Structure 1
Amino acid sequence: MSDRPTIVLVHGFWGGAAHWAKAIGELDRRGHAGLRAVENPLTSLADDAERTRRMVRQVAGPVLLVGHSYGGAVITEAGDLPNVVGLVYVAAFAPDAGESPGQLSQEVPPAALANLTPDSDGYLWIRPEKFHESFCQDLAPDEALVMAVTQKAPLASTFGDSITAPAWRAKPSWYQVSTEDHMIHPDNQRRMAARMNTRETVELRAGHASLASQAGAVADLIDRAAAAVTGA
């Protein structure tokens, strides 16, 4: 359908656009020809939001923004563009005005918080030997190894960057909670989803990397959101 939105996928910390690989395949099989994935620098919320806005501006029609993990903060900040018709959060941060991902994590600490380690250049890593249990315990060991070795560390200061005007206050939103998440506490996810008054919130028995371990169910939610905003 010509009025279907282009789906723009936004990754989070410790990975890149390729984290969406399985979900992209699932969405393509559902007939979503308009698929794009942002590659964010993870240097600051302002940088990442601007990179996302630039991709959205390249799309002539409506856009459905989908954010995983920290990517939720990015779509919250960048989703104010007029052609953004909806927001989908996948085990993601959804900060309110003045809140940062770091602040939200401190309020409800996740299980794997102690497995983060800074380096001498100011980047924050998941300890490689702890990556599987922290980020993607429901993926096969070989998949987790690749994610651990190729992880894209953010500048630690990005955790403290706060939202200005949250787009979810003006745009329809959907949320997927990962009930076994070790990176963003599941109760924190539920709290963020509840205050957004989402159109739909689904819970999956999944770790943080639900976009890979439960790609079909994640694609189902995105598909429903795309259908809901069609013609918006």
Structure 2
Amino acid sequence: MSDKPTLVLVHGFWGGAAHWANVIVELSKRGYGPDRIRAVENPLTSLADDAERTRTMVAQVDGPVVLVGHSYGGAVITEAGDLPNVTALVYVAAFAPDAGESPGGLSQEMPPAAFDSIAPDSDGYLWIKPDAFHESFAQDLSADEALVMAVTQKAPLGSTFGDSVTAPAWRSKPVWYQVSTEDRMIHPDNERRMAERMNPRKIVELDASHASLASRPQEIADLIEEAVRETTG
């Protein structure tokens, strides 16, 4: 499988690299070994910090890279995806800001259903209220799966919501986008708006929560593989 590109998976707010677990297993079944999949662990301290962490991982790859971002991870791949070995961008229920836009600003324009489930702590980090996590973030997962996500959630610094993209990579890279039609963390119409303006190669709509990477790994892997086929052969 040495001809395959490396897939670099970028998580969003309220989760870490392990949110990609089901997608990683599915991609492994399709021939992507551990040498061909990398999952970034972003600090969620600022868009600049997270983009730099992602760029560092991409730069370590000797060969083509397909960048995949979930949720806020879409903003990260938008900011970090301009490296020459990045051949495609795949957005999974994700933010895709244009220059000067931030995830927070986009959300305020079209508030999602679970906007009020987000609460700050005394140190400036934002959390999804644990008792609202299942219904807000992952209503199509089991109660046990959602419980683990709620307890292990990785909170971002609140200021990160306001960090703006500088030069969006989607203006020069091929794009694929998955919309979650039952998303309560990013308004589905906001996802559609962001997707359509990027002129993507394909938009897939799934009857899924914000956690589509966990609840619909086969379809997410299908979309990633399509990006691989069309851009790296």
- Tell me whether the two structures share a fold, i.e. TM-score over 0.5: yes
Are residues 1:95 and 2:102 paired? no
- State the 1:4 CA deviation: 2.1
1:74-127 superposed Cα distances (whole Å, 9 cap, x missing partner): 000000111001000000000000000000000010000000000000000000
Return 24-33 or 132-141, whichever deviates more: 24-33
Question: Which residue, out of 170, 183, 186, partners 1:184?
Answer: 186
For residue 32 of structure 1, report the CA deviation from its aligned partner: 1.7
- Flag structure 1 segments of 5+ consecutive residues without an equivalent: none
Q: Deviations over 1:211-232 (max 9, x none)?
A: 000011111111111111114x
1:116-154 deviations in Å (ceiling 9; x for gaps): 000000000000000000000000000000000000000
Measure, in 1, the Cα distance between the counterparts of 2:105 and 2:3: 38
TM-score by length of 1: 0.98
Tell me how far apart the structure 1 counterparts of residues 50 and 64 of structure 2 sit (CA, whole Å): 20
Amino acid aligned to 1:82: P
Aligned to 1:108: 110
Q: Which residue of the other structure, out of 185, 192, 202, is the alignment partner of 2:204?
A: 202
1:82 maps to 2:84: yes
1:172 Cα deviation from its structure 2 partner: 0.1
Offset, 1:18: 0.1
The corresponding residue for 2:173 is 171
Unaligned 5+ segments in structure 2 are none
| 1:27 maps to amino acid | L
TM (norm. structure 2) is 0.98
| Contact kept? 1:5, 1:229, Cα under 8 Å | no
Summarize the alignment of residues 64-83 of structure 1 with structure 2, pairs less than 5 Å apart. 64-83=66-85
Cα drift, residue 5 of structure 1: 1.3
Aligned to 1:19: 19
1:2 Cα deviation after fit: 3.3
Matched, 1:222 2:192: no
> How many equivalent residue pairs?
231
RMSD: 0.7
Q: Measure the CA separation in 1 of the matches of 2:37 and 2:117.
A: 33
| CA distance, structure 2, for counterparts of residue 191 and residue 125 of structure 1 | 26
For 1:223 and 1:116, locate their aligned partners in 2 and report how far apart those are by CA, in whole Å. Answer: 34
Alignment partners' CA distance in 1, 2:68 and 2:77? 7
Q: Distance in 1 between matches of 2:6 and 2:95?
A: 22
